[in-house]
Structure 1
Amino acid sequence: MWSEAPPVAIHAPGNPILADGRYYSTDPAPLVAGDRLWILAGRDEAAPDVDDFIMNEWQLLATQDPASGDWTHYPAIARPEAVFAWAEPGRAYAGQIVQGRDGRLWLYAPVLQKADTSKDRFAIGVAVADAPTGPWTDAHPAGPILSQMVPEPNTIQNIDPTVLIDDDGRVYIYWGTFGRLRAMELAADMVTPKGPEHVITGLDGFFEAPWLMKRQGVYYLLYAGNTVGPDCTPTLYHACIAYGTATSPLGPWTYRGVILKPVSSTTSHPGAVAFKGQWWLAYHTADAKGGGHFRRSVAIDRMAFDDRVSPPAILPITPTRRPAPPPAPSRDIAGRATATASNVPIPVRYWIKALNDGIVRPTPLPPDLWGAEPGPASQWLEYRFDTPVTLNGARMRFWADASAKIAAPKAWRMEYWADGWKPVRDPKGFGVGVDAFQPASFAPVTTRCVRAVLDTAGAGVAVQEWEVLAPTAQPPRAPIAATAPPCDLKP
């Protein structure tokens, strides 16, 4: 039977806050209560090889000074079924706590309704407590305040609530995902819908995770966007954090730009708050030990505004990380290369930079891969170095998905540039299995460019990582800053 866990003091010398892999945290919603900054977070519990959001409870992080790195972790403060009698266990998705005019804390939480016939059973309930840690009591025992059936029928997925209590005491709630954003006013009781439901537009690339806030009379809405392009995401699956502004709490909204580029997790989720004169942005990444797209961890960085413009603009945020030991010497020097492929421009499901990012996941999502759709009988991948390197081996990790008509190649081989493409000599290995690295070796070559040719027989193909190996371990070196020139040009 579930019960609350005792709080634990932790020190986080950087992001993510919880980093050792014992607890994953996600969907941060910061709150200032008393003399502390609190962050409500879900808990990711998926196994490393499970691509699903396994989320059974909410947790809290609290600090008196985010810059100090000293936090208190409250591992479990509530579960859906323990708070809402009408809710199923699990799916403790992104919620938010706000402090009402009466001093009490109000939790807006998306949960799954049991015994419901709606096409999508996600609904938003409201609970109340005297402290962020609870105990939490259903503030509307009759059921959710928002669903596909109440206050009026809708067909969206009703998750990701964000709530603002305005200076005049009026209460506003936004929610939605998959590009569909809704908003309405709530009555002073914090639970009763008041007025019509508004369909929100004007926020370019809106996907999910709205966060409503106000500063110096200007309303801001932060959100996860997934418009593919240089300003937001490299692939369909990633998300950036963008924002818009308005002069009234229900809009209309004007798109203002991107403040956080995609992070290491495919999803991104903002929450921002002012605490002791400094604004902070909380978000999540996959940067904890054993982390992944379904094993995310909360991070926090300073957020600043440019008050020289009107309305004041949120300045771009550069994510910070915990100090880490330098990488060990390695034979794999692919990280120094610029990657390209025969199918440029790459389909937006995939990401060429995944080839040599050094990340391998048990169950990758498309952004973790370079991929090519069915068509040509062969495809090639190419690494360009800024100066000549010596290589005598490689490792390739293929990925397959029958439903997407993606398979391992029939065969693959390597070539190097020497006034034209030439096959490597004395090749060995070059297997074509999936879900494990396929090693290859050959006589040493010194070159600035190497190419892997994949015989696909017209099928689609995908590669999670392509390592190229020097004869001996090399000291770590940062990736080159500029794009290496084509192979037929001198460096």
Structure 2
Amino acid sequence: MIKLSGNPIVPGWYADPEARIFEGRYWIYPTYSAPYEEQRHLDAFHSADLVEWVKVPNILDMRDISWAWRALWAPSPIERGGKYYLYFAANDIQNNDELGGVGVAVSDGPEGPFRDALGKPLIDKFHNGAQPIDPHVFIDDDGTAYLYYGGWGRCNVVKLQDDMVSLGSFDDGSTYIDVTPDQFVEGPCMLKRNGLYYFMWAEGGWGTPDYSVAYACSESPLGPFNRVGKILQQNPDVATSAGHHGFLQVPGTDEWYIVYHRRPLTETDRNHRVLCIDRMEFAEDGSIIPVQITFEGVGERPIK
């Protein structure tokens, strides 16, 4: 009998998951979903088969970030050169006079502990109208590292230098490029498949039932990104507020999974969000088939 993950996949309130494969295991890095003043740490989870998940508590603690004082969320990890870099948002700044934004921490392993790499935010101002939140790191096939981020309906991409803790510039000399697609709200995410760039993002309000995910495609990591349509949204018979996701690709295959948060039907508190996983499939023309959210989750899938 096939073992199933079930949804949610772990107990507790979590949101905004980023998913990776590190050291031969599946990893999920989520926000600890609580009122802003209580979002003071990050946990992670790893699995050998997508079904049994092991919690690694406190991979990053706000006490180790000198400039952060509330609202630690939306982690995005990546490995480069044997080091692990974790990009995150903190403080939920509302203008350029407040301290906060997107930070970066570093560790020797995927389990942490991560330590603030700069002693200050990596991005601490509004550029092109984008609130500096919800970072997503992406390394292209040519080794170029990009960081997508944004809230308040605007999205930027920046180029990371080889040290992964400083910003580079693009060919035109600019540092911040606006890549905002139609109906973008927050939560950018990028994957590459068959030479095509799939840019995804969250739409709607994170505290409302209509929170969802849409996508666009481009031949360039810089766009343009023309909205195709929704690929993840609520099902009134299963859960609401399905959005802000990450993804997993089984190495050496065209097998994909979407990791996301949603709100159980029994919950009304907007912070009561849970981690879920379902299959994400592509049609023959390369489009993403809208995901059906389930209670069952996915079957056991070890990495070979």
TM-score over 0.5 (shorter chain): yes
Q: Is the 8 A contact 2:18 2:75 kept in 1?
A: yes
Q: Give 3-state SS (helix, strand or coil) of 2:78's partner.
A: strand
2-structure distance, mates of 1:288, 1:97? 30
| SS of aligned partner of 1:81 | helix
1:370-409 aligned within 5 A: none
Match of 1:111 in 2: 90
**For 2:112, which of 134, 140, 154 is the aligned residue?**
134
Separation in structure 1 between the aligned mates of residue 112 and residue 276 of structure 2, nearest angstrom: 23
Secondary structure, counterpart of 1:304 in structure 2 = strand
- Counterpart position of 1:220: 198
Provide the residue aligned with 2:275 in structure 1: 298
Structure 2 unaligned regions, length at least 5: 298-304
- Provide Cα deviations, 1:131-176, integer angstroms capped at 9, x if missing partner: 12112122223x1111117xxx665321000111111111111100
1:79 paired to 2:61: yes
Matching of residue 93 in structure 1 with residue 77 in structure 2: no
Aligned position for 2:30: 41
SS in 1 for 2:155: strand
Query: Match of 2:301?
Result: none
Percent same amino acid at aligned positions? 30
2:207 pairs with 1:252: no
Residue aligned with 2:264, SS? coil
**SS class of match (1:286):** strand
2:40 corresponding residue in structure 1: 56
1:25 equivalent in structure 2: 14
Q: Which residue of 2 aligns with 1:431?
A: none
Q: 1:62 to 1:119 in 2, by over 3 A?
A: same
For 1:12 and 1:85, the matched residues in 2 are separated by: 42
Q: Which has the larger radius of gyration?
A: 1
Cα pair 2:208 2:241 within 8 Å, conserved? no
Shift of 1:183: 0.9
Residue deviations 1:32-51 (CA, integer Å, cap 9, x gap): 001111000111234xxxxx
CA contact (8 A) 2:232 2:243 kept: no
The TM-score normalised by the length of structure 1 is 0.54
Letter in 2 for 1:225: E
Please tell me whether the aligned partners of residues 213 and 232 of structure 2 are also in contact (alpha carbons under 8 angstroms): yes
Asked if the contact 1:60/1:74 (under 8 Å) is kept, the reply is yes
Q: In the aligned structure 1, how far is the partner of 2:188 from the partner of 2:240?
A: 18
Cα separation, 1, equivalents of 2:122 and 2:267 = 37
In the TM superposition, residue 207 of structure 1 has moved relative to its aligned partner by 0.8
Q: What residue number does 1:14 align with? A: 6
Q: CA deviation at 1:261?
A: 1.7
Deviations 1:353-387 (A, max 9, x none): xxxxxxxxxxxxxxxxxxxxxxxxxxxxxxxxxxx
Q: 1:13 to 1:33 in 2, by over 3 A?
A: closer
Correspondent of 2:248 among 244, 253, 273: 273
Deviation at 1:237, TM superposition (A): 6.3
Instruction: Give SS of 2:210's match.
Output: coil
Separation of aligned partners in 2, 1:131 and 1:205: 37
Aligned length: 285
1:280–1:302 Cα contact (<8 Å) kept: yes
Residue 294 of structure 1, CA deviation: 0.8
In 2: Cα distance, 1:267 partner to 1:322 partner? 16
Q: Normalising by the residue count of structure 2, what TM-score does the alignment of the two structures yield? A: 0.84
- The CA deviation string for residues 264-314 of structure 1, in whole angstroms up to 9 with x for no partner, is 4546211112124321100001229767421211101111112x21xx111
Contact 2:13 2:271 in 1 (8 A): no
| AA of the residue aligned to 1:298 | L
- Quote the Cα distance in structure 2 between the aligned partners of 1:176 and 1:53: 21
Partner of 1:243: 215
Measured against aligned partners, the alpha-carbon deviations of 1:187-240 in whole angstroms (never above 9, x if no partner) come to 111122112211113x2211110011211211111111239xxxxx9x986222
**Partner secondary structure for residue 37 of structure 1:** strand
Partners of 1:265 and 1:188 in 2: CA distance: 40
| Structure 1 residue runs without a partner (length 5+) | 1-10, 47-51, 228-232, 324-491
Using a 3 Å threshold, how does the CA distance of structure 1 residues 226 and 167 change in structure 2: closer, same or farther?
same
Seen in structure 2, the aligned counterparts of structure 1 residues 172 and 247 have a Cα distance that, compared at 3 Å, is same
Show the counterpart of 1:425.
none
Q: Assess if the C-alpha contact under 8 Å between 1:124 and 1:146 holds in 2.
A: yes
Kindly report which structure 2 residues correspond to 1:132-281, keeping only aligned pairs within 5 A, or say none: 132-141=110-119, 143-148=120-125, 155-195=129-169, 196=174, 197-201=176-180, 203-226=181-204, 238-262=210-234, 264-266=239-241, 268-276=243-251, 277=253, 278-281=255-258
Q: Is the contact between residue 242 and residue 263 of structure 2 (CA under 8 Å) also seen in structure 1?
A: no
Give 1:306-317 correspondences, 5 Å limit: 306=283, 308-309=284-285, 312-317=286-291
Q: Is the 8 A contact 1:224 1:269 kept in 2?
A: yes
Q: Distance in 1 between matches of 2:250 and 2:136?
A: 18
Structure 2: how far apart are the matches of 1:180 and 1:117?
14
> How large is the RMSD of aligned CA atoms in angstroms?
2.8
Aligned 1:418-437 pairs, distance under 5 A = none
